[in-house]
Amino acid sequence: MDGLLAYTAAALVAVWGVAHAIPTRQVLAGLGPVTADNRRIVKQEWLAEAFTMWGIAAIVIAATAAGGAAADARAWVYRAAALLLVALGTLTALTGARTPVIWFKICPVLMAGSAALLLVASVP
């Protein structure tokens, strides 16, 4: 059961990372007049969150697939990933979710839900 919860959390986060990366070009186009350097920074930060989500998903999948006697290590991987998801969700709640963009409002909920799945999966 813990493997199913972990895989579900990883899938949610990975798909959300894809959904985060796809509109990057549109986000940059909507910025209006900003310097090329500021445009690069926004692009970098927008994609950095997507890469972070993919990394979390990959680590959780790898730890789950490894299985075996490493259950204690796997539990700590799940907990660390959950903590990072909560931190990302909190950052979004304090920044992007305060805008009228619905996707930013969904993000903290999705991150918290995925973190909860991982925490439940980490309990022996």
Distance of alpha carbon 78 from alpha carbon 66, whole angstroms: 13
Per-residue model confidence as pLDDT tens digits over 76-114? 889 999 999 999 999 989 988 888 888 889 999 999 999
* Helical residues (DSSP H) of 1-124, grouped into ranges: 2-21, 24-29, 36-66, 71-94, 102-122
The pLDDT score that the predictor gives to residue 36 is 83
Q: Is the pLDDT of residue 68 over 70?
A: no
pTM value? 0.80
Q: Which two tokens stand for residue 97?
A: 């979710």
Q: Read off the tokens for 5.
A: 């919860």
- The pLDDT tens digits for 33-48 are 888 888 888 888 888 8
Contacts of 75 (CB under 8 A, 6+ apart): 121, 122, 123, 124
